[in-house]
Structure formats: C-alpha cells, structure tokens
C-alpha cells in the first residue's frame, strides 16, 4: 500500500472513473434486475476507505448514504472526484445511529469499538479484511456486489479485472528486475503488503521482501545504495505539505544510482486499497518491467 506514512494511521482506522475497461460507470448499468427474490439494502454506509472504493463502484444511484472522509483524498482514493457526490463520515457510531442505514460496510482495521457497538445496537455490519493481494480483489468485488444486491454488475467488473491480469501474466518472462517501494521516512513495503503482491504480479522482485521486511518497516538508505535496485518507487502528491521525512526517498545518495529508475511511477491511490484501480498499478509496472528488461532481450 503506497501512501504517505503520515496517513497510515487514518487509513488503518478507517479516477473519476477507472481508466479504460477496468470500471464501467454504474450509471450506465442501471436500471437492471438485482438479486431475484431479495431486496437489496436501500441505505448503505461505508466507514472505511477501502470499502468506499468498492461501494462507490457498485452501488446503485441513491443507495450509498455515506462514505468515509478519506474517500475525498486524491492521494488515497482513486474515486476521489466521484466521492464529492456523497456525504462523508468519520466512522463514528453516532453518525451511523443518526443515519439508520440498512447495511454498514467497513474494514477489519476500523475502530473495533464502533463495529461492536453497532452490532449490539442491531445494525448489520459487514467487515472486509485488510489482508489483501491482487488475487483476492475479484472475490472482494463479488462479495460487495452480493451485499449490495448487484451481483451482475460486480461479476462484470471482477471478470474484467481477471482478464487484464491474465493479459499481464501472458507477457511475463523468467528474468525479474528488482524493485523497492520507498516511502516517507525511508519506510519500505515488504512481504505481506498489497504493494508486494502487485510487484510480483507485474514481474518484479521486491528488494524489501527479500531483505526480510514484513509489512512496512524502515529500510536503511545505505542498503538501498548497496543493492542498487532497478526500480525505486517514491511517494507522490505531497508537495503541498513537505516534511523532512518526505526528503528521505529523494536523498542525494539515491540520485547517484545512475542505473536505477527512481520516481513516483505509481499514483499512491492506485494501490492504497485492494480495489479495481489496482489493475492500473499492475499495468504501469508491467510496462516498466518490459522497458527495464524485455523478454526478447532476456533471451
């Protein structure tokens, strides 16, 4: 999950339309039949950034009563423009109680006190796991579609995601360049992160994972210079509020790595959550891998 370390705490507690064929605008798919014999929830609240993305992609007009305030942040949310059309919440039980939704969707890293209280008050709450990989995304899409009563829309979106993954996989080759996702304060994203999964699918080896980093952890600048990864992915979108921590991924020592490609190649919002936008991160990185060492050159 590539995002400023300043925002990880909010993200854990908690474009426009996706490019190309990744996402079909819900407005173009309605009206259409929903689950036979079942009434979809008329009012749905999302309390988590990641459930926001799925709900906005799949909800029918008027069905989504509220989303988290993080959904409007362009550095975190690929649908931040679309999010301007919805009321926002801060994940508080009081907000849910006043809104009286039929369904609440949230993440397992949301405030557990809120989740438990809402269930004791009789609200239907469905949690989505924070443990995400590229491979889990289609089923997350399908699950949200079923909860909202729009399985056909979800199936279209999930199948499109899977088809694009297959296209990327069909163009892989044995040689895998080395990449590092290097965030604010020198934090690297290692094994078990969504970013690690994206790198693997796109045809890279993750330097942080190979060095034993689990999740997110500090990664010594000296080790980056020693290992000379082929690709160093730095943060983007924080120029309006710089800090000393922001300067670590842009240290002068890294600029001396002439054979390393360094830059914000992947928008942070594209892989902040396990949603449909992740396919854009996969495709961008797959193209970079081919530029660094194409399969024809490897042969």
Residue 232 lies in a domain: yes
* Same domain, residue pair 159 and 184: no
Enclosing domain of residue 149? 8-167
Among 33-37, 166-170, 266-270, 293-297, whose mean pLDDT is lowest? Answer: 33-37
* Same domain, residue pair 232 and 91: no
Name the band, by pLDDT with cuts 50, 70 and 90, for residue 1.
very low
Q: Measured in Å, how far apart are the chain's first and last C-alpha atoms?
A: 33
Name the band, by pLDDT with cuts 50, 70 and 90, for residue 131.
confident
- Quick check: 115 and 92 in contact, CB under 8 A? no
* DSSP secondary structure letter of residue 24: -
* Same domain, residue pair 161 and 204: no
* DSSP secondary structure letter of residue 198: H
**Residue 232 pLDDT greater than 70, yes or no:** yes
* Same domain, residue pair 123 and 34: yes
Name the band, by pLDDT with cuts 50, 70 and 90, for residue 130.
confident
Q: Which long-range contacts (CB under 8 A, 24 or more apart) does 31-34 make?
A: 32/152, 32/153, 33/152, 34/60, 34/149, 34/150, 34/151
Residue 279 lies in a domain: yes
Please name the residues in contact with 225: beta carbons below 8 A apart, sequence gap of 6 or more.
253, 254, 256, 257
Maximum CA pair distance of the chain?
A: 64
What does the pLDDT average to over 265-285?
94
Answer with the one of 167, 195, 223 that is the final residue of a domain. 167
Please name the residues in contact with 81: beta carbons below 8 A apart, sequence gap of 6 or more.
15, 16
- Alpha carbons 119 and 251: distance in angstroms, whole number: 48
CATH no. for residue 19? 3.40.50.1980
* Same domain, residue pair 187 and 125: no
Among 14-23, 104-113, 142-151, 222-231, whose mean pLDDT is lowest? Answer: 14-23
What does the pLDDT average to over 258-279?
93
* Same domain, residue pair 50 and 152: yes
**Residue 156 pLDDT greater than 50, yes or no:** yes
**H-assigned helices in the chain:** 8-13, 26-29, 49-58, 80-83, 93-99, 112-120, 137-148, 151-169, 194-202, 207-210, 221-227, 244-247, 252-255, 278-292, 295-298
Q: Which of 208, 205, 209 is nearest to 178 (CA)?
A: 205
Split into its structural domains, the chain has a count of 2
Answer with the one of 167, 192, 207 that is the final residue of a domain. 167
Residue 2 lies in a domain: no
* Same domain, residue pair 114 and 183: no
Q: How far is CA 297 from CA 203, 259, 292, in A?
A: 15, 17, 10
Mean pLDDT computed over every residue of the chain: 85
- Could you tell me how far CA 65 lies from the centroid of its own chain? 22
| Beta-carbon count within 10 A of 61 CB | 10
Give kind and range of the element (H or E) at residue 240: none
Higher pLDDT pick, 295 / 174: 174
* Same domain, residue pair 155 and 265: no
Answer with the one of 167, 189, 209 that is the final residue of a domain. 167
Higher pLDDT pick, 253 / 90: 90
């Amino acid at each position: 999950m590539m995002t400023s370390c300043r925002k990880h705490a909010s993200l854990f507690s908690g474009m426009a339309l996706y490019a190309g064929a990744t996402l079909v605008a819900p407005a173009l798919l309605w009206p259409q039949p929903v689950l036979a014999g079942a009434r979809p929830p008329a009012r749905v609240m999302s309390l988590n950034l990641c459930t926001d993305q799925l709900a906005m992609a799949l909800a029918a007009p008027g069905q989504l009563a509220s989303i988290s305030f993080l959904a409007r942040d362009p550095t975190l949310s690929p649908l931040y423009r679309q999010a301007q059309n919805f009321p926002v919440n801060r994940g508080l039980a009081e907000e849910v109680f006043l809104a009286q939704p039929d369904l609440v969707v949230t993440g397992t890293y949301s405030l557990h006190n809120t989740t438990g209280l809402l269930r004791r008050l009789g609200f239907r709450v469905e949690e989505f796991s924070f443990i995400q990989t590229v491979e889990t995304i289609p089923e997350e899409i399908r699950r949200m579609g079923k909860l909202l009563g729009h399985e056909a829309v979800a199936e279209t979106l999930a199948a499109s995601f899977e088809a694009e993954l297959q296209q990327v996989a069909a163009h892989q080759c044995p040689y895998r360049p080395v990449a590092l996702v290097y965030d604010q304060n020198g934090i690297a994203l290692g094994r078990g992160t969504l970013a690690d999964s994206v790198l693997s699918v796109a045809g890279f080896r993750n330097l942080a994972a190979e060095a034993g980093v689990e999740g997110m952890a500090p990664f010594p600048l000296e080790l980056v210079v020693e290992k000379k990864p082929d690709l160093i992915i730095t943060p983007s979108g924080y120029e309006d509020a710089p800090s000393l921590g922001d300067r670590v991924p842009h240290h002068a020592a890294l600029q001396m790595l002439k054979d390393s490609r360094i830059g914000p190649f992947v928008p942070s919002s594209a892989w902040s959550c396990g949603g449909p936008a992740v396919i854009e991160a996969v495709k961008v990185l797959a193209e970079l891998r081919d530029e660094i060492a194409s399969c024809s050159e490897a042969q």
